Amino acid sequence: MAENIALNLEQSFGELNDCVVVTDRNRKILFVNKALEDLLKVSRDDLIGTTTENFFADKSKFEELGELYNSPNEQRHRKAYSFDMITGEGDLIPVEVVSAPLFDADHQLTGILFFARDQSERIALETRAKDIAQTLEDALEAISEGFAIYDTEDKLVICNDNYREIYAPSAPAMYPGNDFEAILRYGLERDQYDTGSLSKEEWLANRLDHHKSADGSVIEQSLSDGRWLRISETKTRNGGTAGIRADITEMKTAKAQAESAYRDLSLIADIISCSITEVDLDGRCVFINKKGCEWFDGTLEELVGTRLRERLSWKEREQVRHCFQKSYGGQRASEEICFHFPDGITRECQFESNPRYDEAGNVCGLVVMIVDITDKKKTERTLAELYAITSTNELCYEDKIAEILRLGCEHLDLPCGIISHVIDDHYSVTHAHCLGSELEPGMTFPLADTYCTLTLQADRPLATTHASQSEFSKHPCYQAFKLETYIGAPLLVDGEVYGTINFNAPERRKRPFTAADIQITRQFADWVGHEIARDRDHNALMQAKVNLERIASVDDLTGILNRRAFLEAANKEIQRFRRSKRPFTAVMIDIDNFKLINDRNGHSVGDEVLEKFTSIIGSALRTVDVFGRVGGEEFCMILHNTSMEEAMLVSERLREKIVNECQFDDIEQTITCSMGLAVVVREDVEFSTLMQRADMALYNAKSTGRNKCVEYSSGLDVIFAD
């Protein structure tokens, strides 16, 4: 009866990936499956009849599970228990356990069925995910504006502290998983927003419409404390929404002062890092601040009296014309426009034109403000794309590294991005994204000949946009390659210097690097370092797994399957036979009088015989056949899809091959072998029964003269019974 129960349990749970253990009401183990045996690294025979107390790192957890036996109920068994288990080798493994009570016909508890799952990989993945999330959070904190990402269901994924500070009254509602509308309503209830002439619901509807479109257009938002915000939102690749909030109160204040007190315009305009101009009704410049003079590449005297828009391309003039017409009609006009300025720099700008009135209330000109939002827009796009790259499962390690380099080149407007590995004084390129360059991974240079030696010495990011006019001009790298533009950061892997990430160009970069560029380069380095470390860990784990699997399955001396691995393969053949009905034959093999070989010649010679014997047999078998060492000089092979007649022919051929090829000059006796053959039958549920029949035939071969192949027959059962 117990054997039938064990067999049923084995058929039900034996091959499950999750660990299964069945205990009686006294907590004695009745059954464990192979998964638990592998996890604990203890054989089933050693576990059956014992309790699992020795495998609990915290004995109180063992006592806690005892409540399942003392007062079983459904509520307790629905609970998942987490604790650390100690393997037979002393290792700690985190597991999660759920249980199900077993009752007899009288609903009396007879035992408990436990399912256990190894949580090591999940915990490791959660740790890695946490590291990546922390890296992204660090990148966000480097941005001076408020930044937030919402997922496809409009729930908050992440935001930086600046975002919370901008909307301080709403900060308690800004937690991951809360949706955008709920956060807005939280702020509305606390009068955070200046809704103007709109009701709260009308204001909310307008704000949600713009948020859902997320087309990159810009809106301004007035807060009840008098601050103004510039809001820009775009869709991420996975359908979420990334948004950036900038406090433009200062700009709004400056605009108001310019409109109400023109005589103070020059003083105010020159301290603001944007272009401020005034034009008359004919479009001619009557005032331009210092920043405007720089962008339009002229002096105040050269530019006043000219039509500045004529210095722009026809397409940009058309965009400006639309705003001018609106403002000449008495309305403020605002547009995001990409300008190719006369100073040779392309800038993404927030263009605003405001009507200027004379004493009679008529429009007499326009005051134009052009704010450079290139860095903000780039940062917004880069962070959104960085989030998509780091969070996707579609890209492998190499692809993610390549995407980071491409993204860095695009963000910094540089043609070449490089990841290097520095060993001693050697600088090796491991990854490169270089347009129009012959630089390729694998190239090696003396470290001293690269700008990266300065970066590593400084132990921080370094940058230059005009190397020939800086200390970089004295460096050998400038002398050899004439690189005018460079930005790089040290690359650390597991806290150790691995190399650098850098972006460069032979031409001078027209725009200076900003603090945000430095911080984003640093974050690129941190993320790449984490990814290299994770790839190293993964490769080491895979190699260790391969080595362990080989050690666990291969016989050290002969190089063929050991007993455990052979029996695993053999039982799979039994299961395959029960599904496909394709026959196979098991052949037990024993080297005749092997003990005499060891006694007369020594064990080292015996080992040579075993090695040569298995080499001869193994080389003669097909790849589909299974061959293993099941004892000292005992072997077993499974001849796939082979009847008894075919198997006998193969066995006789192998036996003769041993007689002809497995002889040694130093061994007097002739080395022979005996074989016992048995064909699988429908009643074979496990390989052990088939192996037993083949073993009977082998015994008969040895007892009737050796050096022969004997087929199992039912008559042998009678002989062994006697």
Whole-angstrom distance, CA of residue 353 vs CA of residue 334: 7
Q: Is the pLDDT of residue 630 over 70?
A: yes
Closest CA to 226 of 261, 258, 250: 250
Give the pLDDT of residue 542: 74
435, 458 contact by CB (below 8 A): no
The CATH number that domain 395-534 falls under is 3.30.450.40
Predicted confidence at residue 692, as pLDDT, reads 93
Asked if 263 and 245 touch (Cβ cutoff 8 Å), the reply is: no
Closest among 376, 344, 200, 369 to 278, alpha carbons compared: 369
Position 609 pLDDT exceeds 80: yes
What confidence score (pLDDT) does residue 149 get? 86
Residue 206 predicted with pLDDT over 60: yes
Predicted confidence (pLDDT) per residue in 507-522, tens digit: 988 888 888 888 889 9
Distance from C-alpha of 585 to C-alpha of 135, rounded to nearest angstrom = 59
Which CATH number, 3.30.70.270, 1.25.40.20, 2.40.30.110, 3.30.230.10, labels domain 563-721?
3.30.70.270
Identify whether the C-beta of residue 14 lies closer than 8 Å to the C-beta of residue 34: yes
Residue 486 banded pLDDT, cuts 50, 70, 90: very high
Question: Contact at 8 Å (CB) between 359 and 369?
Answer: no
- pLDDT at position 73: 63
Beta bridge partners of 335: 351
Q: What is the CATH number of domain 2-118?
A: 3.30.450.20
Query: What dotted CATH number matches 251-377?
Result: 3.30.450.20
- Beta strands across the sheet bearing 19-24: 29-32, 19-24, 109-118, 92-103, 81-86
- Which one of the listed residues 335, 633, 646, 668 is annotated catalytic? 633
Q: What's the 3-state SS for 522-537? A: HHHHHHHHHHHHHHHH
More confident residue, 674 or 437: 674
* Cβ-based neighbours of 434, under 8 Å, separated by 6 or more: 415, 416, 417, 418
**Which residues of the chain form CATH 3.30.70.270?**
563-721
> Distance between CA atoms of 335 and 448, rounded to whole angstroms?
49
pLDDT at 677: 96
By mean pLDDT, which of 126-135, 378-387, 610-619 is the weakest?
126-135
Residue 260: predicted pLDDT:
63
pLDDT at 696: 93
pLDDT higher at 619 or 270: 619
pLDDT tens per residue, range 11-60: 777 778 888 888 888 888 888 888 888 888 888 888 888 887 878 888 88
The answer to whether domain 124-247 has CATH 3.30.465.10 is no
CB 317 within 8 A of CB 283: no
Q: What residue ranges of the chain are covered by domains with CATH 3.30.450.20?
A: 2-118, 124-247, 251-377
pLDDT at 721: 52
Whole-number pLDDT of residue 652 = 95
The separation between the first and the last C-alpha atoms of the chain, rounded to the nearest angstrom, is 27
Given a cut of 60, whether residue 718 has pLDDT beyond it is no
Give the pLDDT band of residue 629 (cuts 50, 70, 90).
very high
**Confidence at 649, pLDDT banded by 50, 70, 90:** very high
Q: Verify whether residue 633 is a known catalytic residue.
A: yes
To the nearest 10°, the Cα dihedral for 695, 643, 654, 698?
10
Return the pLDDT at 134. Answer: 66
Report, as an integer, the average pLDDT of 364-386: 86
Percent above pLDDT 70 for the chain: 92
Query: For residue 502, what pLDDT band results from cuts at 50, 70 and 90?
Result: very high
Q: Determine the Cα–Cα distance for residues 142 and 139; give it in Å rounded to an integer.
A: 5
d(CA 351, CA 675): 93
Rg of the chain, C-alpha, whole Å: 39
Contact between 576 and 588 under an 8 Å Cβ cutoff? The reply is no
In which residue ranges of the chain is CATH 3.30.450.40 found? 395-534
Which of the pair, 439 or 139, is modelled with greater confidence? Answer: 439
Question: Using CB atoms within 10 A of its CB, is residue 140 exposed (0-12), middle (13-18) or buried (19+)?
Answer: buried
Q: Are the C-beta atoms of residues 258 and 367 closer than 8 Å to each other?
A: yes
CA 344-350-354 angle, to 5 degrees, is 115
| pLDDT score of 380 more than 70 | yes
Q: Is the pLDDT of residue 76 over 60?
A: no
Residue from 680, 696, 689 nearest 588 by CA = 696
Question: What's the CA gap between 174 and 166, in Å, rounded?
Answer: 12
Which H or E element spans position 315?
helix 314-328
What mean pLDDT is reported for the chain? 86
Q: Please report which confidence band the pLDDT of residue 93 belongs to, taking 50, 70 and 90 as the band edges.
A: confident
pLDDT digits (tens, 9 = 90+) for 658-712: 999 999 988 889 999 999 999 999 888 899 999 999 999 999 999 999 999 999 9
- Closest to 140 in 3D by CA, of 400, 383, 382, 391: 383
Separation between Cα atoms, residue 551 and residue 572, nearest integer Å: 20
What does each C-alpha distance from 698 to 291, 443, 584, 677, 695 come to in angstroms? 99, 64, 17, 7, 5
Q: Classify the C-alpha dihedral 107-109-111-112 as positive or negative.
A: positive
Q: Flag whether pLDDT at 116 surpasses 90.
A: no
pLDDT of residue 720 exceeding 60:
no
Which one, of 331, 63, 384, lies nearest residue 216 by Cα? 384
Query: What are the beta bridge partners of residue 578?
Result: none
Specify the DSSP element, H or E, that contains 569. Answer: helix 563-580
Q: Any idea how long the chain is?
A: 722
The amino acid at residue 668 is E
Question: How distant, in Å, are the alpha carbons of 8, 190, 197, 221, 550 from that of 228?
Answer: 73, 17, 17, 6, 67
Task: Work out the pLDDT band at 388, boundaries 50, 70, 90.
Answer: confident
